[in-house]
Amino acid sequence: MHLDETLLFKEQYMISENKPEDPLFYCFDYDTRSYQVNMNFQHFHQFYEIFIPLDQNCSHIIEGDYYALQPYDIVLLRPALLHKTEYPAGDPSRRLVIEFALPLRDGPADQLVRDALAPFGGECPIYRFHEEVRAQAFAHLNTIFRMSRQPVTPLVRLSIHCELLEFLAVLAQNVDNNIYKAEELSDSITHKVYSVTSYIHRHYASELSLEFLSKEFFISPYYLSHQFRRVTGFSLINYIQITRVRNAQQLLLYTDMKIADITTSCGFTSFSQFNRVFNKFCHVSPSQFRQNGEVGRIEAIPYEKKPSPGSSDGKRGIGTF
The C-alpha angle 127, 114, 181, rounded to 5 degrees, equals 15
Per-residue confidence band for 303, with pLDDT thresholds at 50, 70 and 90: very low
CB atoms within 10 A of CB 149: 13
Per-residue confidence band for 294, with pLDDT thresholds at 50, 70 and 90: low
Q: Dihedral sign, CA of 152, 158, 161, 163?
A: negative
Q: Dihedral sign, CA of 125, 306, 208, 270?
A: negative
Q: How far apart are the first and last CA of the chain?
A: 33
Per-residue confidence band for 243, with pLDDT thresholds at 50, 70 and 90: very high
* Residues 141, 135: Cα–Cα separation, whole Å: 10
Burial class (CB in 10 A: 0-12, 13-18, 19+), 109: exposed
Instruction: 210-213: list long-range contacts, CB under 8 Å, 24+ apart.
Output: 210/236, 210/237
> For 87-132, how does the pLDDT look when each residue is reduced to its tens digit (9 = 90+)?
988 889 999 999 999 998 888 888 999 999 999 999 999 999 999 9
> For 153-201, how does the pLDDT look when each residue is reduced to its tens digit (9 = 90+)?
999 999 999 999 999 999 999 999 999 998 877 789 999 999 999 999 9
Domains with residue ranges and CATH for the chain:
13-177 (2.60.120.280), 188-297 (1.10.10.60)
The DSSP code sequence of 229-246 is HHHHSS-HHHHHHHHHHH
* Residues 229, 170: Cα–Cα separation, whole Å: 41
* Residues 67, 71: Cα–Cα separation, whole Å: 13
Residues 111, 45 contacting (CB under 8 angstroms): no
Counts of helices then strands in the chain (DSSP H, E): 10, 9
Query: Which pLDDT score is estimated for 69?
Result: 95
Strand, helix or coil for residue 277:
helix
| Average pLDDT of the residues in 236-255 | 95
Bridge partners (DSSP) of residue 65 are: 62
Q: Is the pTM of this model over 0.75?
A: yes
